[in-house]
Amino acid sequence: MEIPKIKRRTFIISGCLALAAYFFVETKTIAVTRYSIGINNLPSAFEGFTILHLSDLHSKSFGEGQDKLHEIIKKQTYDLVAITGDLIDKDNPDPEPGLQLVKNLTDKPTYFVPGNHEWWSGYSIRESLLKHGVKVLENRAEKFELGQQSVWILGVDDPYLGRDDLQEAMTGVDEVSPKILLAHAPGIYQSVINEKIDLLLVGHTHGGQIRIPFIGALVVPGQGLFPEFDYGLYTSGNTKMVITSGLGESVLPIRFNAAPEIVLITLKGLKQ
């Protein structure tokens, strides 16, 4: 029996409204995503070492003072925080949501690399991050030590705008110790593979914000339609890359099948 036109129209409108509501509701739901990453010749002191990876807040607030976000983070166990850019948004360059996030994290070593939105907004948040004890890595590296053992934490300036200089970041870094690189965007991946860096952490893509089941993101910035690198774990040789879908949204305040997330990456040793 044919459905009357009025009922069909009502059904279509109701379905569209329900879908739109879901797109909006998903922006408020924070996922916790975990990875176990094998690292060649990882020093024994770093076995089980866990990195909290955050990215792409885009001046978004999760409750007053970021309390909803902090409640989730407080339940996690981690040893170091890596923030891979775009704490602020060029269309809403309010630094407070980003600063409210970081000020409750710095009881653990916290590292930051800038993204394109920091630069598009004048990068005024930099000094405030430093005052909060955040270590800003712009084409440089720091040796991170536990006892007598160490790994390298490297950071490059925003690859999306071409401010990155991986060779400069590698200055003084030895070939033996494991290397973990923070960058904003995944376009640097091939260079990282060439340099035999163990782990690359990036954001920028937002996981596409809209992900089609079994297909993935339809489009991400800088890669266009059906991007090669949109979300998750990628491996090439001994190099791994983790792309987070981030916390905030860009352009449109919607998400589908790509919830905001915090990422926990636990290191485990691999022997060659």
DSSP track, 176-243: SS-EEEE-SSGGGHHHHHHTT-SEEEE-SSGGGSBEETTTEESEETTTEES-SS-SEEEEETTEEEEE
* 73 dihedral zone (left: phi>0; alpha: psi -120 to 50; beta): alpha
Rounded Cα distance between 184 and 54, Å, is: 11
pLDDT tens, N- to C-terminus, the chain (272 residues): 455 555 445 434 433 334 444 444 556 789 999 999 999 999 999 999 999 999 999 999 999 999 999 999 999 999 999 999 999 999 999 999 999 999 989 899 999 999 999 999 999 999 999 999 999 999 999 999 999 999 999 999 999 999 999 999 999 999 999 999 999 999 999 999 999 999 999 999 999 999 999 899 999 988 989 999 999 999 999 999 999 999 999 888 899 999 999 999 999 999 76
Q: How many CA atoms lie within 13 A of 36 on its CB side?
A: 5
**pTM of the predicted model, to two decimals?**
0.90
The residues near 257 (Cβ < 8 Å, ≥ 6 apart) are 26, 210, 211, 212, 213
